[in-house]
Amino acid sequence: MRVVFDTGTVISALLFTHGQLAWLRMHWASGACTPLLSAATAAELTRVLAYPKFKLGADEQHELLGDYLPYAESWPAAA
């Protein structure tokens, strides 16, 4: 199943490993769903992970992106 997640939902699933949305991380990693994202939403996710309130270093941000982006499908699909 291909789905579009709100950036806030993805952030919650990535950052709060024991939160209400933590199960989504395993859902996309298991292949139960395929997140769809555009270049704009990928850029937004990258920007939000860099917010000072999350106190994430560049390596942590990169690791979290690595827990999501490989499972996502670009939308609209490249021609």
Dump pLDDT digits (tens) for 8-42. 999 999 999 999 999 999 999 999 999 999 999 99
The pLDDT of residue 76: 84
Is residue 79 a part of any domain in this protein?
A: no
Is residue 25 a part of any domain in this protein?
A: yes
Model-wide pTM > 0.75: yes
User: Domain residues for 45?
Assistant: 2-74
Is residue 24 a part of any domain in this protein?
A: yes
Is residue 52 a part of any domain in this protein?
A: yes
Is residue 8 a part of any domain in this protein?
A: yes
Mean pLDDT of 43-61: 98
Q: In terms of C-beta density within 10 A (0-12 exposed, 13-18 middle, 19 or more buried), how is residue 67 classed? A: middle
How many independent structural domains does the chain possess? 1
The pLDDT of residue 49: 98
Which run of H or E residues covers position 42? helix 39-49
Is residue 26 a part of any domain in this protein?
A: yes
Q: What percent of the chain has pLDDT over 70?
A: 96
Q: How many CB atoms lie within 10 A of CB 24?
A: 21
13: its two tokens: 């699933």
